[in-house]
Structure 1
Amino acid sequence: MDNVYNINWRTFIILNLPVFLRKIKSIKLLEVFFKPVVLLHLEFLEFRRQALYKVNHNSQICYLQAVLNDSFDNVQRRIIIRNAILREPLWFYEPEENKPVLFYEESDNKPVYFREESEFIGDGADFLVLVPIDLKPTNTQEENALLIKMKAQIDYYKLFVKNYIILWV
């Protein structure tokens, strides 16, 4: 099917010329006239390639990961997508209720920490995009530009209702 779009423009010009006009000068002149058409055809082929790429990729993790690696880490392909860690909520009860987790009284004046702060990294996100620290630019402006490009790629392919966090690992 791809052969339909591959055109040898020189052959096209020669075959469509009457035999008595098939001289070098007339062929060269027509090649010059066809130059804008050839450039438009090349733009069309590039657009077609990009469109087929977009159609062949979707929001599945394997495809989204492939898109990110194609764009930002084409050689080593180290960008990984993981599901966020969803924590079950802890329910607190008063001592009189005789339930498993007790909450302290204000008179005790000592807070109780049930989870470490690092355990809440995945909060609010459906998946995590883990980008190697080697890909992080040293300049803040370049880092912001990279993150904007990466977010644009992810937002194009991900489902609308999904949230994500990009982490440097």
Structure 2
Amino acid sequence: MPPNANIRYKVDFDYLSTLLLPALLRKPKLRAWLAALLAPLRQLYATFLLYAEATRIELAYNSQTIVLEGALNDQFDPLLRRIRIDNSDTELIPLYLNFVSELQPDVYLLFAAESPPWTYCYGYVEFSTQTDFTVRVPVLLRNPQRTDQLNARIRHFKLATRHYRLLFV
């Protein structure tokens, strides 16, 4: 049994088989035979404990920057932990132009020759290519299979509306 196994799953199969055996049948040979019969169950139990611990760790991850960074480092660079996530500090604010019938305040557009403040109308391409965060990965970890795994791991944890860029430095 792993040392960090949760106490709620603790089962001692030798003790349990002895308790379930009637007192008259508790002989050393019969107890050894039951222990041999329970060996595959013990192995399955140890596998279950490892799975439960790995699942508990996996469920602790979320899309927070530091937690996502830790999840990526745990899987792809556990020793040196060189994968970094940089949040984007600039955000394009969309400009919506409305019809008069929509009763929205007027938005005035100015030419470049006119005095500031100038209003720039961003195109859809600029909004769709804007990244919310950049994942910086060392070049030593770059290969096609690992890149696919890294992208899958990031997409698994990131929010659906967030865009990212994978950058090998």
Q: Same fold (TM over 0.5)?
A: yes
Partner of 2:159: 159
3-state SS, counterpart of residue 128 of structure 1: strand
Aligned pair partner of 2:131 in 125, 128, 149: 125
- Tell me the residue number matched to 1:76: 80
Q: Tell me, in whole angstroms, the C-alpha distance in 2 between the residues paired with 1:148 and 1:50.
A: 22
Aligned partner of residue 14 in structure 1, secondary structure = helix
Number of aligned residues = 141
Pairwise mapping of residues 1-169 of structure 1 onto structure 2 (< 5 A)?
2-84=6-88, 86=90, 93=111, 95=113, 97=114, 123-136=129-142, 143-169=143-169
Cα gap change, 1:128/1:94 in structure 2, threshold over 3 Å: closer, same or farther? closer
For the residue of structure 2 that corresponds to 1:59, the secondary structure is coil
Q: CA deviation at 1:31?
A: 2.2
SS of aligned partner of 1:43 = helix
Secondary structure at the aligned position of 2:38 is classed as helix
Give me the whole-angstrom Cα distance separating, in 1, the residues matched to 2:144 and 2:48.
Answer: 32
What is the percent sequence identity of the aligned residues?
Answer: 30
Query: Is contact 1:93–1:99 with CA below 8 Å preserved after alignment?
Result: no
For residue 81 of structure 1, what is the amino acid of its counterpart? I
RMSD: 2.8
Give the alignment's TM-score, normalised by structure 2. 0.69
Contact 1:65–1:80 at 8 Å: present in 2 too? Answer: yes
CA pair 124-47 structure 1, distance change in 2 beyond 3 A = same
Deviations 1:99-140 (A, max 9, x none): 688xxxxxxxxxxxxxxxxxx9xx52211111112323xxxx
TM-score for both structures, normalised by structure 1: 0.69
